[in-house]
Structure 1
Amino acid sequence: MTEKAADINETIKHLKKNYPRTHIALNFTTPLELLAAVILSAQTTDAAINSLTPALFAKYKTAQDYARADAEELETIIKRSGFYHNKAKSLIGMGKTLVEKFGGEVPRTMAELVQIPGAARKTANIVLWNAFGKIEGIAVDTHVARLSNRLGYTQEKDPVKIERDLMKIVPQDEWGRFAHLLQDHGRAICIARKPKCGECFLNDICPSAFKGT
């Protein structure tokens, strides 16, 4: 944490007040759908992924379906997600790993989830919290990384190191929700290029307020 940082408890209180219905932006109905959606969401928007997953989920319903998928056919469905060649490989690899190591089911521990192609700690944290209600860490995406730096909670750029800093100061029972709160605020107010500090309910405690950093 930097020398001057927003009070974490005040930040959480204000975020919860302003985003009372915070939840994951990706659409899913099963742990497998969520895992696939999170893998696809790398370097693109959740809205873009939500626009293509209905067709994906209609065709690929099980881990076996992904494991046996034709790469070109899969790429056609997910092309709008960007980097679709690599993402198709990850989804097929995901299916094969789930079938070969986990009986075709999405595992429920961090140690197991990070063995899946395309699934690092961020993906594992998202799946654990949103699919199983389990908390093992804090999912650090671009919004969480940006706001954590602006609020003074870390000076790190690496997601794993940012997560480590946040886990030291965020109450553990808030870890799962905290990421979603920062994501909501990052989309609405604390945007990447020009944060709307004049509209921000955290500007009286944020060390970066009105600086555009």
Structure 2
Amino acid sequence: MKREDVFEFFSRLAADNPHPETELEYVNDFTLLVAVVLSAQATDAGVNKATRALFREVDTPDKMVALGEDGLKQHIKTIGLFNTKAKNVIALSEALIRDHGGAVPADRDALEALPGVGRKTANVVMNTAFGAETFAVDTHIFRVGNRTKLAPGKTVLAVEKKLEKVVPQPFRLHAHHWLILHGRYTCKARTPECWRCVVEDLCPYKPKTAAPKKPKTAPAH
């Protein structure tokens, strides 16, 4: 995508949604980190449903360790891979207490050293909690990056590196949220809703999906 088209692309997404935010619910940096770890291969809506009651009671690493693995499992058993995730959340809580005085670090390497935290999770936390201009590439962003030719790449890391290079100011801080939401609600995996897409004319994807036909109504007698 040409540089001027990239600027126009993000200008329109920004105009359409001036204040994009993560759809994960959280109360502080720690609960954000936990929610992002739980959201791997799960939907944000499913995670929110499981964590609402949890985060009312448990909002610090100390409280999480006190709850324990079995207690945590009771809260998150509706989420995929909950056994492994419960183990990781307790272990990362212990690591935060031991290595960071119970605070979530704002550093990528420190975050990635925590159990269950990969590059994508670290990027989300750095962006949402600390305002870092990071690009957390999930399946939605991977698809949108390739489909629109905004940031084509064969791997998640390749798409992330391309976004690092091409996304201009003033869009860098919120770019990954705009792309996630665009992929989740408009540029969908099976059938992109091109007919209502604000960047449709900037995107080379073919054939564009037409609006669904309205059912014919029977003539009034």
TM-score by length of 1: 0.90
Q: Which runs of 5+ in 2 are unaligned?
A: 210-221
In 1, Cα distance between equivalents of 2:151 and 2:132:
24
**Paired residues for 1:63-82 under 5 Å:** 63-82=61-80
In 1, Cα distance between equivalents of 2:122 and 2:155:
16
- CA deviations on 1:150-176 (whole Å, 9 max, x unpaired) are 111333242222111110111265333
| Matching residue's letter, 2:186 | I
User: Does 1:177 find its partner at 2:174?
Assistant: yes
Say which of 188, 192, 197 aligns to 2:185.
188
- CA deviations on 1:125-165 (whole Å, 9 max, x unpaired) are 21112112233x21111111110011113332422221111
Larger radius of gyration: 2
- Please report how far the alpha carbon of residue 72 of structure 1 lies from its aligned counterpart in structure 2 after TM superposition: 2.1
Say which of 44, 47, 51 aligns to 1:46.
44
Q: Is the 8 A contact 2:88 2:115 kept in 1?
A: yes
TM-score by length of 2: 0.87
| Matching residue's letter, 2:97 | V
Say which of 27, 30, 33 aligns to 1:35.
33
Say which of 108, 117, 123 aligns to 2:106.
108
Match of 1:58 in 2: 56
Match of 2:215 in 1: none
Match of 1:22 in 2: 20
In 2, Cα distance between equivalents of 1:172 and 1:124:
22
| Matching residue's letter, 1:72 | D
Q: Which runs of 5+ in 1 are unaligned?
A: none
Match of 1:203 in 2: 200
| Matching residue's letter, 2:182 | H
Please tell me the root mean square deviation across aligned C-alpha atoms, in Å: 2.0
In 2, Cα distance between equivalents of 1:209 and 1:181:
22
* Number of residue pairs the alignment of both structures matches: 209
In 1, Cα distance between equivalents of 2:4 and 2:54:
42
SS at match of 2:89: helix
Q: Is the 8 A contact 2:27 2:59 kept in 1?
A: no
Say which of 139, 143, 146 aligns to 2:143.
146
In 2, Cα distance between equivalents of 1:158 and 1:93:
29
User: Does 1:165 find its partner at 2:143?
Assistant: no
| Matching residue's letter, 1:32 | F
Structure having greater relative contact order (Cα 8 Å, sep ≥ 6): 1
